[in-house]
């Protein structure tokens, strides 16, 4: 069902409790290295401020031990960066549901912005604790979810808090609306040919995604290290290339690859050649070999040039493209060539193109194609969940339009 948007609610003089996804990467000096997720929430934030509301922002960052403060996971740098982007002070609470957060939330005036400390510093967040949820819910007059990247998680700030809001408005932010629109529309009503590109390391991480995509796509292109599991399933040799190290899990992965190949038939495209190195470094000895014919001292680090050309040709002819996972070690030339070829083909095509977060988003940005695709998702795991065909309970409980 369509959901109410933040723009559908009168926020004048009200405090909007907003779940955002400021789970941004930080370097060793706690400087933000990519602020995409912060920038992506600006339309929703500005909508509230321009209409006379104030904001209490909640987010997680990283995976701290529950109930423990860890400076490297503090949201303080995000508050500073958001303030720079807004051109105004963003207040920061040194706790999440404690006295500092509650006092600062109570004192907010129209136009003010407050960011609470990392919700995962509180044990109640991952437990979806009702008491913790109510304490947060009591701070706001309106609840807004604009945290697509976290929507698959039934945590307190995403699930318990909107439940605890009772009859208060519970709405969707513009970023979440856009993410859901692109990904659900791509699955439900794609312009054909519908092509999915799936890379990454493990078959086990993306079994459900690949299986679901084989039901709805015209072509599914496999790249990344997971291609070596398929090669082994076909009886090939992969040298030192990555495969699941646990013997029992490896058996399951190989059997899964066989089942996916049987299900996919001509829809499932696997690499025909592999770019290899004798060491995981840019200056290693290199060779290109047929897929499944990697010598013992080499490891596959990228799809080969024949595969890159074949994949690019398929992508250029597509009507809709969904991409999740790079084709090789895109951070290390020359093993970025396969990923580059796919990214260039997407940029050259007239297809609706959706980049599914994570490493794919990083690759598109690094290669300078960010402005040449239709949509770059802010949530790798969440976009995978939608591609699996799952729905989000955290969205379902928000107000219907």
Q: Cα–Cα distance between 163 and 152 in angstroms, integer?
A: 16
* Residue 51 bears catalytic tag: no
88-121 pLDDT, tens per residue? Answer: 999 999 999 999 999 999 999 999 999 999 999 9
Q: 55 near 112, Cβ under 8 Å?
A: yes
Catalytic residue among 51, 168, 201, 202: 202
What mean pLDDT, rounded, does the chain reach? 94
183 sits in which H/E element: helix 174-188
Catalytic residue among 328, 358, 379, 380: 358
Average pLDDT (254-268) is: 96
Average pLDDT (3-26) is: 97
* Residue 202 bears catalytic tag: yes
Boundaries of every domain in the chain: 6-177, 190-387
Confidence of residue 217 (pLDDT cuts 50, 70, 90): very high
Average pLDDT (305-316) is: 98
Residue in this structure with the two tokens 């040194």, named with its chain if needed: 94
Q: Cα–Cα distance between 277 and 301 in angstroms, integer?
A: 7
Q: Cα–Cα distance between 191 and 320 in angstroms, integer?
A: 5
Output the CA–CA distances (angstroms, integers) from residue 108 to 90, 120, 186, 195, 233, in the order listed: 11, 23, 41, 48, 60
Tell which CATH classification among 3.40.50.2000, 3.40.50.1260, 3.30.70.270, 3.40.50.280 matches the domain 190-387.
3.40.50.1260
Q: What per-residue confidence (pLDDT) applies to 281? A: 96
Cβ neighbours of 236 (radius 10 Å)? 16
Structure tokens at 50: 């321009």
* Residue 76 bears catalytic tag: no
328-370 pLDDT, tens per residue? Answer: 999 899 999 999 999 999 999 999 999 986 778 888 888 888 8
Q: Strand, coil or helix: what is 83? A: helix
* Residue 300 bears catalytic tag: no
Q: Which residues does 282 contact at the CB level (< 8 Å), separation at least 6?
A: 332, 333, 334, 335
List the CATH code of the domain at 6-177: 3.40.50.1260
Catalytic residue among 37, 206, 219, 340: 37
What pTM, to 2 d.p., does this model score? 0.86
Catalytic residue among 83, 236, 381, 389: 381
């Amino acid at each position: 069902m369509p959901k109410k948007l933040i723009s559908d609610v009168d926020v004048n003089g009200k405090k909007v409790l907003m779940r955002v996804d400021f789970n941004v990467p930080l370097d060793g000096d706690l400087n933000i290295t990519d602020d995409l997720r912060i920038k992506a929430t600006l339309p929703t934030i500005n909508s509230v401020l321009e209409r006379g509301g104030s904001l209490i922002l909640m987010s997680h960052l990283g995976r701290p031990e529950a109930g423990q403060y860890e400076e490297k996971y503090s949201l303080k740098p995000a508050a500073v960066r958001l303030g720079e982007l807004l051109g105004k002070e963003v207040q920061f609470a040194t706790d999440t549901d404690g006295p500092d957060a509650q006092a600062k939330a109570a004192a907010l005036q129209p136009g003010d912005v407050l960011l609470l400390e990392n919700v995962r510093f509180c044990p109640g967040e991952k437990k979806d604790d009702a008491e913790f949820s109510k304490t947060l819910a009591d701070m706001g007059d309106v609840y807004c979810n604009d945290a697509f990247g976290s929507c698959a998680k039934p945590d307190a700030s995403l699930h318990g808090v909107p439940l605890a809001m009772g009859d208060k408005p519970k709405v969707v932010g513009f970023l979440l609306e856009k993410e859901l629109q692109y990904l659900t529309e791509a699955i439900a009503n794609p312009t054909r040919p519908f092509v999915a590109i799936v890379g990454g390391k493990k078959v086990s991480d993306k079994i459900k995604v690949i299986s679901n995509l084989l039901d709805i796509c015209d072509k599914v292109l496999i790249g990344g290290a997971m291609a070596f599991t398929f090669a082994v399933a076909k009886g090939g040799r992969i040298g030192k290339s990555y495969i699941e190290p646990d013997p029992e899990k490896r058996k399951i992965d190989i059997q899964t690859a066989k089942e996916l190949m049987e299900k996919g038939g001509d829809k499932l495209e696997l690499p025909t050649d592999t770019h290899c190195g004798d060491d995981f470094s840019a200056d290693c000895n290199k060779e290109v070999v047929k897929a499944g014919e990697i010598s013992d001292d080499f490891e596959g680090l990228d799809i080969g040039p024949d595969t890159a050309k074949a994949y690019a040709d398929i992508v250029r002819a597509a009507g809709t493209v969904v991409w999740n996972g790079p084709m090789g070690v895109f951070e290390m030339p020359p093993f970025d060539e396969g990923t580059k070829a796919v990214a260039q083909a997407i940029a050259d095509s007239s297809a609706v193109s959706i980049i599914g977060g994570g490493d794919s988003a990083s690759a598109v940005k690094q290669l300078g194609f960010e402005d040449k695709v239709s949509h770059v998702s802010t949530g790798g795991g969440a976009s995978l969940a939608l591609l699996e065909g799952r729905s989000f309970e955290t969205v379902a409980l928000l107000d219907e339009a």
